[in-house]
Amino acid sequence: MRKTLFGPAGAGARLLTCAWAAVGIVFAGAAPAEAQSADSDIWTRSTLLGDPGGWRGELGADGVSLGVQDTETLLGNVAGGVKRGATMQGLTTATLQIDTGKAFGVAGGTLNASALQIHGRSLSPFYLDDLQTANGTEADDATRLWELWYDQSFAQGAADLKFGQQSIDQEFIVSTYSAVFVNTMAGWPLVPSADLYAGGPAYPLSSLGARLRVKPTADATVLVGVFDDNPPGGPFAADPQSRDAGGTRFNTTTGALFVAEFQYAVNSVRGRRHGVRRRSARPAGDLQDRVLVRYRTVPGPGL
């Protein structure tokens, strides 16, 4: 049982980040042509493998993209905590996306399926014994389904509706620039994790639901969603990851989680319409100020 918020009381646990490595390997997708030219090398092209055999361009023309991203983190505890030492922990994420306009003639649609391969030994449970994990990718070792959803835009891109298996920390209660930092608090915060069943439908978990996004202006975005509040089902305090080790339980037998958020972009590019935003591809020119966040869990028979 983890006992404290930032580390054992009075210990003043300090972390030493020994190394941080993230490698994105995109096998197929519609990347900019200039980034995939034959003259580009490994240091300048947008993907590690470039466009081998022209497969990326061919599949991208049909609306298909497949990406694999690997993140390996070496962290150490040099003082405080419950144990001294260093450990390596990693996350490999595979994502398949299909542009339904190019693939099937259904304009404005995106099919997404992603899976996680989590490996290594996490720092927080073995060296710190804290609640707020030192690294945002920490989780039990597993190979699991992450997200499986369909997103349809309408009103000329001013709104879109996403439904299916979703991890809501990809869009709700998260800073645009959180990916710059290692610590979990830069992303999905501790409070909903501690208050919600199974920590809520956030990494590495996800749950069935629907999310509506509306952009009334170029600077403002409104997000409203409803999801199953307990991804694996079961008691509040039981280990949620072990109850659904593969991510395929698709629980709908518990309560509903309603969440809404208003976002305001301070320095957005006028007239830009954002597509589906992922953790590894957020617009670098936007500073999103979340000024209103509300979430509520309603016990009941489920969705």
Per-residue pLDDT of the chain (303 residues; tens, 9 = 90+): 333 333 333 333 334 434 333 344 444 444 444 444 444 677 888 788 888 888 888 999 999 999 999 999 999 999 999 999 999 999 999 999 999 999 999 999 999 999 999 999 999 999 999 888 888 899 999 999 999 999 999 999 999 999 999 999 999 988 777 777 777 777 788 888 889 999 999 999 999 999 999 999 989 999 999 999 999 998 887 788 999 999 999 999 899 999 999 999 887 654 444 333 333 333 333 333 444 444 444 445 455
Query: CA–CA separation, 48 vs 59, rounded Å?
Result: 17
d(CA 111, CA 99): 7
Is the separation of the CB atoms in 15 and 134 below 8 Å? yes
Q: Is 176 within the bounds of a domain?
A: yes
- Total domains present in the chain: 2
Lookup result for tokens 């500073």: 287
102 assigned to some structural domain: yes
**Would residue 147 count as lying in a domain?**
no
Q: Which token pair is 90?
A: 């990693």
In 3-state terms, what secondary structure has residue 97? strand
Half-sphere exposure of 294 (CA within 13 A, CB side): 7
Residue 128 and residue 186 in one domain: no
Half-sphere exposure of 160 (CA within 13 A, CB side): 19
Read off the pLDDT of residues 7-17 as tens digits, 9 standing for 90 and up: 333 333 334 43
Report the share of the chain in percent with pLDDT over 70: 75
Handedness of CA 56, 111, 242, 193 (dihedral sign): positive
Residues 125 and 165 in one domain: no
Cβ neighbours of 134 (radius 10 Å): 26
Among 139, 163, 198, the domain-final residue is 139
Residue 25 belongs to a domain: yes
40 and 173 assigned to the same domain: no
Residue at 288 is within a domain:
yes
**Tens-place pLDDT, residues 272-302:** 443 333 333 333 333 334 444 444 444 454 5
Residue 177 and residue 263 in one domain: yes
Which residue range forms the structural domain that includes residue 30?
1-139
Tokens, residue 174: 């998260």
Q: Where are the beta strands (DSSP E) in 80-234?
A: 85-99, 109-120, 142-154, 159-166, 207-214, 220-228
104 and 179 housed in the same domain: no
CA-CA distance, 149 to 225, in Å (whole number)? 14
